[in-house]
Structure 1
Amino acid sequence: MSEAPVPEVRYDVVDGVAVLTLDAPSRRNALSVAMAGELAAAVARADGDPAVGAVVVTGGPHFCAGAERSVLADAGEDPVEDGRYRALGAVYEAFTRVGTATVPTVAAVRGAAVGAGLNLALATDLRVVSRTARLLPGFAQIGIHPGGGHFTLLHRAAGREAAAAMGVFGEEVDGERAAALGMAWAAVDDADVEGTAMALASRVARDPALARHLVASFRRETAPGGVPWDVAVELERSPQMWSLRRRRTP
């Protein structure tokens, strides 16, 4: 009997926060198809648990080195062959699923976030990075076009100039520069990254139901293009009325 594969995404819940830890250090957490599926399933698990009010995504000392090279190589041989097309799509789903989690999400980034790994970090609602973290697209450097909505994610986080510098011209930024650009909320010492991320996540996770309403409104109102103020007032009215009524309910 063959042994079951060793999980490459650890799932733990601490103080209402689901901690999703990428755990494939031998390849610096590069996303394989199987690992991407595990990550998407872990987000779904957090979504389905009403006691979870936030998610922290981390990779320990190596956040994520992008998509596993074999996935890219296979896609390059025949990009529209069904199996290979689906394989690359599974990698995309790893970070698009994080971006559509029903709870607030925080990335705790140490080491490098490259290509799809940078997409994963940028898919979260908030990022805490090590001062020495390396954030870089890495696509053009290996001769391929960015994927996974990379330009949109960069532009949303840091604006057009940074999206051009990184996505087109291949610039790399460290954690301190990322925070200065608005790509991260805080750049801290390496040893403090996960602790800072957990402190932020656990604060909102104290009230999981409210956390889900908060992040839904936040994403609607800050989506690319935004919404007019009067529309935002109406968007917020329903969840605010729910929260006020809930406070009066024994």
Structure 2
Amino acid sequence: MRWESTGGVALVTLDNPGRRNAIDAALAAGLADACDAIDADATIGAAVLRGAEGYFCSGGDRDELAEISAAPVSDAGMSATQRIYDAFLRVGRLLVPTIAAVRGGAVGAGVNLALAADVRVVADDAVLASGFTRLGVHPGGGHFALLNRFAGPQAAAALGVFGETVDGASAVRLGLAYDSVPDDQVEDRALALAQVAGKDPALARATIKSLRTEAGPPAVSWPAAVALEQSVQPWSFARKGGPGWSARGERGDGRSR
């Protein structure tokens, strides 16, 4: 995890490239620290979240997911699950407006991380895939609350239940993203959007608070959905007995990890 700030905009980089920026304990802790520092710095008015080496986030780290699958309701399994949840929940609580710059792909918990931002700019050829049911587990993490918030129940069902994937243009059409541009323009487009908020941090923080309050939560709030799913997702891992994540070696979009 690394981040820097220029002109009132924080650029936060997920940096676990050997695992396509999967969320492991170190990345989750680093992301929380970055968010705390951004919130505490009144000169920052916006944050852009990106992945290193042209890929946004492949979801939870497969080694940690294997640990969860082997003993989902153990202290270790529950702690590992919560670490993944905490990563995207913390981004959703940032005091500044946020933009996810999605290149390559966002899979599983990586979709939650992208949807935690206020705005998404995605590459035309990026792949967004829930991927959970293809691997035989419940999404958890309030996944359906997030999908439904932005794209509605039909898209939430198509991605989260039936395992559909979408590219950048389809993500925009469904409301999952604001803009779709060629891959090499994603981060420039996101930073250009962020610069407006970065020029007046106090106003940016006030306006995004109003937007989030006035737009309202979905029928079940995201935090409530996370809590509701903290029993059914461990059940789905326990049912598998451990082999699903590590033995199959697939990402949610069906390609090899």
Name the TM-score, length of structure 2 as normaliser: 0.83
- Aligned partner (choices 7, 29, 43) of residue 37 of structure 1: 29
* 1:139 CA drift (Å): 0.5
Q: Judging changes above 3 Å, is the alpha-carbon distance between structure 1 residues 67 and 160 closer, same or farther for their aligned structure 2 residues?
A: same
Q: In percent, how many aligned pairs have the same letter?
A: 51
- Aligned partner (choices 1, 11, 18) of residue 3 of structure 2: 11
Q: Which runs of 5+ in 2 are unaligned?
A: 220-257
Task: Give runs of ≥4 in structure 1 deviating > 4 Å.
Answer: none
* 1:128 CA drift (Å): 0.2
1:41 & 1:84 partners in 2: Cα distance? 23
1:96 & 1:23 partners in 2: Cα distance? 18
2:182 aligned with 1:185: no
* 1:221 CA drift (Å): 1.1
2:39 aligned with 1:47: yes
Contact 2:2 2:30 in 1 (8 A): no
What's the secondary structure of 2:208's corresponding residue?
helix
Equivalent residue runs for 1:20-169 within 5 Å: 20-60=12-52, 61-169=54-162
1:87 & 1:167 partners in 2: Cα distance? 22
What's the secondary structure of 1:159's corresponding residue?
helix
Contact 2:100 2:190 in 1 (8 A): yes
Deviations 1:116-156 (A, max 9, x none): 00100001000000000000001011111101100001011
Say which one has the larger Rg: 1
1:182 & 1:143 partners in 2: Cα distance? 27
1:28 & 1:204 partners in 2: Cα distance? 29
Which letter does structure 1 place at the counterpart of 2:161?
V
Which letter does structure 1 place at the counterpart of 2:23?
L
* 1:225 CA drift (Å): 4.7
1:11 & 1:140 partners in 2: Cα distance? 33
Contact 2:159 2:165 in 1 (8 A): yes
* 1:83 CA drift (Å): 2.5
Q: Per chain length, whose mean CA-contact separation is higher, i.e. which structure has more relative contact order (CA < 8 Å, sep 6+)?
A: 2
Contact 2:145 2:218 in 1 (8 A): no
